[in-house]
Structure 1
Amino acid sequence: MAQEEGGSLSEARARVGALHGITDLAQKLLFYDRWALDYDQDVAALQYRAPRLAVDCLMQALPGPPNAALILDVACGTGLVAAELQARGFLQLHGVDGSPAMLEQARARGLYQHLSLCTLGQEPLPSSEGTFDAVLMVGALSDGQVPCSAIPELLRVTKPVSSSVRWGCSGGLVCLTTRTNPSNLRYKEALEATLDRLEQAGAWERVVAWPVDQWELATSELELVPGTSNSDGFISGIIYLYRKQKAAQVEGGRPSPQSPAGL
């Protein structure tokens, strides 16, 4: 495990470890409210790399200038993804999150044009169908957070082929991340089954699935996998990038009748 400095790493590990142990969504949102002021320093202590890596992945698939893209950051938290997007030239940023206190921190960054309170999985996203050129959800796909059944809602608000012609691409992009450490493997399996069903139904096509060894520092020895590169104290994760297809018409969080893949 990495050497601790000044107690900040041990405190961050304790908080993140406690978060992972909460499976009730309401309780998890309350935890995020209490955590909001310390969140950025904690994830920095854990060397959390997902926001930067997810935006890097998205950038590689964009055929047009970033300042022309309308982006939705789902489960935006304090705005770490927006900071990475803004640094790469993205200017049109919308965000949603289920924690009012996290949204306050995101608003203070001054990077979003619009922020909304929304608990994905319990209510629809506050946007019309086919609104965004790209949708990202970084760090919220695990037990007790966003359920796999909410994935089609991300597709619903993503622009289809006809709305993305100016980009010269075949549809809007959806970027998702999850951890691949031992305690999250059951969720990852369910998530990938959902992603695959949507692809088989023609709702989207996979652009890339990018495994990452050094995702963030582990919160306990139990999260490490003996005999792998994770012995340096890091857990692993994965980034998925999909492109919405023309046939995809996703309404109310479910594929349309022409799509055989109900979730």
Structure 2
Amino acid sequence: MKTILQTCRGFDIQAWMNFYDSWAETYEQDVEVLSYRAPQLAVDFLDANFCGIREEVQVLDVACGSGLVAKLMSELGFKHFVGVDGSKGMLDQAEKNGLYRDLKLALLGPEPLPAQRGAFDVVILVGALDVDYAPVSVVRELCSASKPGGFICMSRKNHVGKKSEEYKQDLERELQLMEEEGLWSPVGIKQEERYMMDVTAHSEEKYVGGNVYLYKKSAE
């Protein structure tokens, strides 16, 4: 699996979605082998900072994939999920777990986020913030979908390379700008050294770090 992922570098977003379509049926087993901890890290950080009645919360799971985030959140008492992903194959897998009341197919960036403004108590996006996936502009759409006082949780791996470093700088500049504009306030940023296994390592097991960002939308 590491070798396959290495060959995918440089894909555009549609090529990535085609790849995920073909990967969907074995995705969850494979990412477990890769020690992909991002969903657990994001959900744990959200849960540690969330106050509210979980059973009543409306959750928008963006780039939901096969539904790993919803599975973890459901174990904590969250029950109402809408999922969005660009891969039809992944959405088919997510539908099988029976947790989502609705699943929507959309490419983040090329297509608007198919979510009602101000409708969700929690908006969560795990792993799609990088070059060739979701553009930085998506974070404003996440904020827009949140209710006033709602939480927006995002995680991303610390990818290597000039383009990814530029993306991270652009992302954090946009997050700061949105704070200055009064759209939201930061709850916290958590840095993780063991975000997932490094698929670029050819022999020994190495890990790459990542960040989990958590914001609270301002009251209107």
* 2:193 counterpart SS class: strand
**What amino acid sits opposite 1:235 in the alignment?**
V
Q: Does residue 14 of the first structure (1) align with residue 3 of the second (2)?
A: yes
**What amino acid sits opposite 2:217 in the alignment?**
K
* 2:100 counterpart SS class: coil
CA distance in 1, matches of 2:28, 2:171: 27
For structure 2, list consecutive stretches of 5 or more residues without a partner in the other structure: none
TM-score (norm 2): 0.94
CA distance in 1, matches of 2:189, 2:27: 27
Q: Map of 1:146-161 to 2, 5 A cutoff? A: 146-160=134-148
Q: Which residue of 1 aligns with 2:180?
A: 200
Q: Does residue 221 of the first structure (1) align with residue 196 of the second (2)?
A: no
Q: Which residue of 2 aligns with 1:109?
A: 97
Contact 2:84 2:103 in 1 (8 A): yes
Contact 2:62 2:125 in 1 (8 A): yes
Q: Map of 1:107-256 to 2, 5 A cutoff? A: 107-160=95-148, 171-183=149-161, 184-221=164-201, 233-247=206-220
Deviation at 1:233, TM superposition (A): 1.1
Q: Name segments (4+ residues, structure 1) moved above 3 Å.
A: none
Larger radius of gyration: 1
| Identical residues among aligned pairs (%) | 39
* 1:182 counterpart SS class: coil
**What amino acid sits opposite 2:116 in the alignment?**
S
Q: Is the deviation greater in 119-128 or in 138-147?
A: 119-128
CA distance in 2, matches of 1:219, 1:125: 29
Q: Which residue of 2 aligns with 1:227?
A: none
**What amino acid sits opposite 2:91 in the alignment?**
L
Contact 1:159 1:244 in 2 (8 A): yes
Cα shift readout 1:26-45 (whole Å, capped 9, x = no counterpart): 11111111111121111100
Deviation at 1:122, TM superposition (A): 1.6
What is the Cα-based RMSD across aligned positions, in Å?
1.5
For structure 1, list consecutive stretches of 5 or more residues without a partner in the other structure: 1-11, 161-170, 223-230, 248-263
Cα shift readout 1:134-170 (whole Å, capped 9, x = no counterpart): 100001111100000121111111001xxxxxxxxxx
**What amino acid sits opposite 2:36 in the alignment?**
Y
* 1:190 counterpart SS class: helix
Deviation at 1:190, TM superposition (A): 1.6
Deviation at 1:127, TM superposition (A): 2.2
Q: Does residue 87 of the first structure (1) align with residue 75 of the second (2)?
A: yes
Contact 1:136 1:176 in 2 (8 A): yes
Contact 1:179 1:188 in 2 (8 A): no
Contact 1:178 1:188 in 2 (8 A): no
Higher normalized strand content (fraction of residues): 2
**What amino acid sits opposite 2:140 in the alignment?**
P
Deviation at 1:22, TM superposition (A): 2.8
CA distance in 2, matches of 1:172, 1:56: 17
